[in-house]
Structure 1
Amino acid sequence: MFFNILALVSLLAVSAYGQGTSFVYNGFTLGKLSLDGMAWVTHDGLLRLTNDSRMEKGHAFHPDQVQFKNSPNGSVFSFSTTFVFAIRAQYPTLSGHGIVFVVAPRRGLPGSLPGQYLGIEFRDINDNHVGIDLNGLTSANSSPAGYYADGGEFKNLTLTSGKAMQVWVDYNGTEKRIDVTLAPINVQKPQTPLLSPTCDLASIINENMYVGFSSSTSSILDTDYVLGWSFMVNGTAQALALSRLPKLPQIGKKETSKVLTIGLPWVVLFIISMLISSAVYVMRRKRKFAEVLEDWERDYGPHRFNYKDLYIATKGFRNQELLGTGGFGQVYRGILPTSKIEIAVKRVSHESRQGMREFVAEILSIGRLRHRNIVSLFGYCRRKGELLLVYDYMPNGSLDKYLYKQPTVTLNWRQRFRVIKGVASGLLYLHEGWEQVVIHGDIKASNILLDADLNGRLGDFGLARLYDHGTDPQRTHAAGTLGYLAPEHVRTSKATRSTDVFAFGVFLLEVACGRRPIENRDVEGTILVDWVFSCWERGAILEARDPKLGAEFVEEEMELVLKLGLMCSHPEPLMRPTTRQVLHYLEGDIPTPELSSIGSRLTFDHHEGFDDLAMSPSSMDKAFQLSSVADSLLSGYMSHSLSC
């Protein structure tokens, strides 16, 4: 069970075991807590859970177990805790993963990962809220951050303001109720809790548990502090001595210039003359960095970047920072001036067939996707006739260059199989794990980007479609890349989860065979799916493997990927596995599939719908890409540029 105080989202909950106790920390001393990861106690008594390290985690636990009930089947005792915390964001427009108060079976949360598994919840209500998680990634109860003042008026609080705030968590073992209260440090505990759900914790909490705090970082950094902490079982936690709590570190250092004390009149005259002489320069600079900002866009403030920051990050969009040029704009590498985060900036056309308000809303919806196998969209900027999209930078570029364009640099089978499973995990998140169903619409090797550790991340959401769970996707128009399009997509113009699975099947064969889906339409036998099928049909499916791998591969895994590729690219949608089944096959949770049910129809039916689209390779690419620049603004920043 977690009680979450969040700057962005919450954490996975766990269950437990411990020893009854009560304690109070008015400031901390090194050695009194059990620490791991980034967690540290500063010399003046602050518990610092995170620092400026990326993709790290920090835990701090009371060293002794806490007894929560008398027997395994008994009721959970009443307990109470209060603590003072502060969250300081290093980049003001982006928030990190927040602080979590944890009741857990063991210290350190073994097996947990930084980033999304130690600070993120599914379906979070916003980026500034308080939530309660009970053994799951989705909060059982949550509310925007704030408190009820005297008289019942609700006052909002910004968790990443850097100011100290106090939290009270009280569980009533008799009434089976959890009260969570939040307030600024200089405000007494409000009478009305922020959250007050009814929940019997007997099935979640064991006899003995550990209590403590957890936090983590990803590519977005903040620093999380705990100033004091009090806890008690079967009673009210002792009030913290607020005057004795350690002070938060000062932001910046003030320096006094001796020049002002020596020649103040001359300094004033110099400043005035500089202001007058630079007025023209300032006006020109304002025009240079002018942006398009309408009133409705103020709702998207946290996701909007200043053009000036992006201009500085990319060194004026100079050619030396150009990663490549795609069909809809240029992609530049950059480093944000304040946070030093490495980014990729895509400059695309400002025009759109749909209204800009709706379009930006869709950008930010997809920008809220968070998964370790999906490229993160940080935000956007509008200026004059262009739109700039800001992505997480992927240092190793797109997968296709390792399959086709760098014959001296290739991925071994272990690396390829890890990329395949990572992309499958990301696709399952899109289809089932987010608040809406996301149909990617263009899965292929050039849209898979590799991070510093060669993990595969799914990018290029230019053809993505969103719809609610339990509803049917709407008919749009056939869009995608020839060779990856499912036959029914060409006929009906409907992009579905099954059409994504078809493209994923072609992608599996592409990675395993090191061949493009359609290499030359004028030569018989160059359609990849048909060629692999013919190898299977004559009992020699492993002959389809990439010859660059030599003998360095695992036969069982290679055979699984090739067979699964054929299953996923079956011409009949109902014969294809679901994304979840695909991942089960890859993880070995279910046996390797048998292909006897596919039948010889595959060789012929795979061409269904393609005959009407015959044209030159260059025109085919254009025909199956989006018909307008507007629909492509979310395209992955290196899917075109690094495949050149």
Structure 2
Amino acid sequence: MFSKLLMWLFLMRYVASKGNDDDFIYNGFRGTNMSLDGAAEITSDGLLLLTNSIQQKSGHAFYPFPLHFKPSQGKTQSFSTNFVFAIVPKYPEVRSYGAAFVISRSKEFPRGQVGQYMGIFNPKNVGNSSNHIAAIELDTYLNPEFNDIDDNHVGVDINGLDSITSAHAAYFSNMSGGFKNLSLISGEPMHVWVEYNSLQNHLNVTLSPIGLPKPDRPLLSSTVNLSSIMLDDMYVGFSSSTKTVPTSYYILGWSFKMNGQATALDLSRLPKLPRIGPKKKSKLLSFGLPIIVLFFTLMAISAIGVIVRRKIKFAEVLEDWEREYGPHRFSYKDLFMATKGFKDKELLGVGGFGRVYRGVLPASKIKVAVKKISHESRQGMREFISEIVSLGRLRHWNLVRLLGYCRRRRELLLVYDFMPNGSLEKFLFDHPKKMLTWSQRFQIVKGVASGLLYLHEEWEQVILHRDIKASNVLLDSEMNGRLGDFGLARLYDHGTDPQTTHMVGTFGYLAPELTTTGKATTSTDVFSFGAFMLEVACGRRPIDPRLPVDEVILVEWVSECWRRGTILAATDPKLGLDYEVEEMELVLKLGLLCSHPLLAARPSMRQVIQFLDRDSPLPELSSDGLGAAILAVGHYKGFDDLRFSCPSSLEQWSASTSSVLESIPSGGH
């Protein structure tokens, strides 16, 4: 009898220590037992703060005990939850990544990456069915790689971040009978309800501002069977991840219930968000305001001379027609302060078209790269600025974002996103301090190809970059390749011909037809991309006069190696044997095909992507001639009758390439 009593007491203590495993409610989190990880913390006011950092960090906060989502029959149980959250950015105009309600087999994510991976996934496991993760994302950043609909949406994620269903953040108004938009980064608290019916495999997500009754209609309603996702025991909680922008992610209250309706939160008991904005003026300040105004008036009068001198120093060229470009125009003063007066110690590099400086914008603290280009006043400046502003609307993961411009006297300044690892060039040539692995190089090639496809086919207009080379490919903090420097880019509408006939670019990357027509096309960009691929694979520049005569021109040397059947001999010797043979051969052969002297023989960028992804076989090049390869590419392009002359041998191909290159005047552009 005594032993049974001890056993009963032990079980009661175990249950008490574990808590109710299918029903809980937190009206604030002060004194609660939450499982916190990363940047997550509970503030002294009782707020659950997931992240609040100027560095890229992630934060996780989970209910500490697993919940039984699957009873003995093996089918996921119904559940419901509701919580109040708020996303408070320090700089509302600069977006960071969002947050997510997560159901996971684990409450720890040691391999989760920050940024767009929400601190949960990484590039290798995102989308894997073995993850056993379901999430409701509150996303405030547009990630094209995950097919996001916009930068302010709610989505249902299963084992990855490519949502099975998503919608722009909004709530159904019971009064007006329609949906009203919400801004997830407004800094205001919002209420979320998530309900899953296991009998109907039905998942509803409802959103509304705090204080309003639960809307009659959900924002998202999806049919999804979670039985294959859920294990017997799963953890529930929240995760978020920031960019290098101070943003606070708060959870104010949370309720959860298995097989029933989660208890409603007591909104009056929820903790208050930290005050936003300046404090109210004191009475003393109100009475002393006239004196303060008088003081500052006198100070302003005494400072007129200083202001006049500063205006002269920061004088800009601003014509009436430029006022319509408002947000895309930076003040020279801001750029001067950002770069510390364009000091040499902030210099990132010097190119044929200008000098590039590192900078930090004084208001937003965003890191930027500022390129100074000398220009003369000319009739086409208005059209050029219009195109610069249009390019500023480009959004792709593998493109360096062009933020805007500034004009001052005889200078044009272009402002880009800052890439911390600089250009790809310094990792390839001469004696780099850090060596790129083949895997990194191959991903950079694929990334630049994806960005170039976006410019050629996927944006609202066709964009010709006209200066693709290793020095214009920049690397972000994760060594992803991003195509930058749009100073020479030109736009035209789909289905029309580009009008430019002014030949620009860099010696060694110019397509042969440019020397006769001067007309840039998407195929001339493909030629430059071919030279770029050979740069990456071979670790040397397209033209290097320091080498023996038969190796000066990179494309001729690689083609000679290919003719001898030893194409891998062209591989960058710094790699040794540490590369995938099939991938290396693919890049070398595709580089030759893209840089073919005949325009019709070159593939489109969509074909290049298909070749790199192994979705289409690369036309087989033979030592007897390129006719089969050219005809195969012509077939891929959709030509029924491809008529052009092609070299009968590789020697003719090399000879035609040499003659074209010799006809280009020296000077680099």
TM-score between the two structures when normalised by the length of structure 2: 0.71
Paired residue for 2:653, among 605, 608, 621? 605
Matched, 1:200 2:224: yes
Deviation at 1:616, TM superposition (A): 4.8
Paired residue for 1:311, among 336, 341, 352? 336
Quote the residue 2:152 is aligned against.
128
Deviation at 1:354, TM superposition (A): 7.4
CA contact (8 A) 2:470 2:532 kept: yes
Corresponding residue SS for 1:197: strand
Deviation at 1:540, TM superposition (A): 4.6
Quote the residue 2:80 is aligned against.
80
User: For residues 34 and 488 of structure 1, do their structure 2 counterparts lie closer, same or farther at Cα, with a shift above 3 Å needed?
Assistant: farther
Deviation at 1:241, TM superposition (A): 1.8
After the TM superposition, which residues 451-600 of structure 1 pair with which residues of structure 2 at under 5 Å, given as runs? 451=476, 456-462=481-487, 480-485=505-510, 495-496=521-522, 503-520=528-545, 523=549, 525-541=551-567, 543-546=569-572, 549=574, 553-554=576-577, 556-557=579-580, 560-561=583-584, 564-570=587-593, 571=596, 572-573=601-602, 578-580=607-609, 583-584=612-613, 599=625
Deviation at 1:83, TM superposition (A): 1.6
Q: C-alpha distance in 2, partners of 1:70/1:495?
A: 63
Q: State the AA in 2 paired with 1:369.
A: H
User: For residues 232 and 451 of structure 1, do their structure 2 counterparts lie closer, same or farther at Cα, with a shift above 3 Å needed?
Assistant: same
Q: C-alpha distance in 2, partners of 1:219/1:317?
A: 23
Deviation at 1:145, TM superposition (A): 4.3
Corresponding residue SS for 2:557: helix
Deviation at 1:455, TM superposition (A): 5.7
Q: C-alpha distance in 2, partners of 1:77/1:488?
A: 67
Corresponding residue SS for 1:569: helix
Q: C-alpha distance in 1, partners of 2:434/2:294?
A: 65
Q: C-alpha distance in 2, partners of 1:227/1:559?
A: 53
Corresponding residue SS for 1:310: helix
Q: State the AA in 1 paired with 2:397.
A: R
Deviation at 1:503, TM superposition (A): 4.0
Cα deviations by residue, 1:304-345 (Å, 9 ceiling, x for unpaired): 655543332122334553434444444221123345443212
CA contact (8 A) 1:567 1:598 kept: no
Is the deviation greater in 485-494 or in 117-126?
485-494
CA contact (8 A) 2:423 2:470 kept: yes
Quote the residue 1:143 is aligned against.
168
Paired residue for 2:269, among 239, 244, 256? 244
CA contact (8 A) 2:534 2:555 kept: yes
Matched, 1:364 2:392: yes
Q: C-alpha distance in 1, partners of 2:199/2:208?
A: 26
Paired residue for 1:421, among 442, 446, 457? 442
CA RMSD, Structure 1 to Structure 2 (Å): 4.7
Corresponding residue SS for 2:400: coil
Quote the residue 2:370 is aligned against.
345
Q: C-alpha distance in 1, partners of 2:381/2:413?
A: 17
User: For residues 307 and 354 of structure 1, do their structure 2 counterparts lie closer, same or farther at Cα, with a shift above 3 Å needed?
Assistant: closer
Q: C-alpha distance in 2, partners of 1:47/1:68?
A: 25
CA contact (8 A) 2:537 2:588 kept: no
Q: State the AA in 2 paired with 1:273.
A: L
Q: C-alpha distance in 2, partners of 1:519/1:331?
A: 25
Quote the residue 1:397 is aligned against.
422
Instruction: Report 1 or 2 for greater relative contact order, CA contacts < 8 Å, sequence distance ≥ 6.
Output: 1
Q: C-alpha distance in 1, partners of 2:60/2:305?
A: 53
Matched, 1:217 2:242: yes
Q: C-alpha distance in 1, partners of 2:110/2:524?
A: 38
Q: C-alpha distance in 2, partners of 1:441/1:160?
A: 38
CA contact (8 A) 1:183 1:189 kept: yes
User: For residues 100 and 466 of structure 1, do their structure 2 counterparts lie closer, same or farther at Cα, with a shift above 3 Å needed?
Assistant: farther
Q: C-alpha distance in 2, partners of 1:187/1:336?
A: 39
Corresponding residue SS for 1:231: strand
Quote the residue 2:124 is aligned against.
none
Corresponding residue SS for 1:219: coil
Deviation at 1:228, TM superposition (A): 1.3
Quote the residue 2:360 is aligned against.
335
CA contact (8 A) 1:345 1:388 kept: yes
Deviation at 1:95, TM superposition (A): 0.8
CA contact (8 A) 2:543 2:553 kept: yes
Deviation at 1:233, TM superposition (A): 3.1
Q: C-alpha distance in 1, partners of 2:324/2:267?
A: 37
Deviation at 1:225, TM superposition (A): 1.4
Q: C-alpha distance in 2, partners of 1:325/1:603?
A: 38
Q: C-alpha distance in 1, partners of 2:25/2:320?
A: 51
Q: C-alpha distance in 1, partners of 2:320/2:105?
A: 51
Corresponding residue SS for 1:229: strand
Is the deviation greater in 326-335 or in 604-613?
604-613
Quote the residue 1:5 is aligned against.
none
CA contact (8 A) 1:530 1:602 kept: no
Q: C-alpha distance in 1, partners of 2:270/2:319?
A: 43
Q: C-alpha distance in 1, partners of 2:42/2:426?
A: 46
Q: C-alpha distance in 1, partners of 2:423/2:263?
A: 56
CA contact (8 A) 1:344 1:393 kept: yes
Q: C-alpha distance in 2, partners of 1:108/1:343?
A: 34
Corresponding residue SS for 1:141: strand
Corresponding residue SS for 1:365: coil
Paired residue for 1:164, among 185, 189, 200? 189
User: For residues 354 and 457 of structure 1, do their structure 2 counterparts lie closer, same or farther at Cα, with a shift above 3 Å needed?
Assistant: same
Say which one has the larger Rg.
2
Paired residue for 2:458, among 411, 432, 436? 436
Q: C-alpha distance in 2, partners of 1:144/1:597?
A: 59
Quote the residue 1:28 is aligned against.
29
Deviation at 1:94, TM superposition (A): 0.9
User: For residues 296 and 370 of structure 1, do their structure 2 counterparts lie closer, same or farther at Cα, with a shift above 3 Å needed?
Assistant: farther
Q: C-alpha distance in 1, partners of 2:248/2:70?
A: 35
Q: C-alpha distance in 1, partners of 2:167/2:322?
A: 27
Q: State the AA in 2 paired with 1:211.
A: V
CA contact (8 A) 1:567 1:595 kept: no
Q: C-alpha distance in 1, partners of 2:256/2:616?
A: 46
Corresponding residue SS for 2:185: coil
Q: C-alpha distance in 2, partners of 1:176/1:82?
A: 19
CA contact (8 A) 2:169 2:183 kept: no
Q: State the AA in 2 paired with 1:532.
A: V
Q: C-alpha distance in 1, partners of 2:320/2:41?
A: 44
Q: C-alpha distance in 1, partners of 2:244/2:453?
A: 24
CA contact (8 A) 2:101 2:237 kept: yes
Q: C-alpha distance in 1, partners of 2:249/2:557?
A: 55
Deviation at 1:59, TM superposition (A): 2.2
Q: State the AA in 2 paired with 1:84.
A: V
Corresponding residue SS for 2:443: helix
Q: State the AA in 2 paired with 1:553.
A: G
Corresponding residue SS for 1:276: helix
Q: C-alpha distance in 2, partners of 1:213/1:54?
A: 19
Q: State the AA in 2 paired with 1:238.
A: T
User: For residues 292 and 109 of structure 1, do their structure 2 counterparts lie closer, same or farther at Cα, with a shift above 3 Å needed?
Assistant: farther
**Runs of at least 5 residues in structure 2 that lack an aligned partner in the other structure:** 1-19, 119-138, 627-648
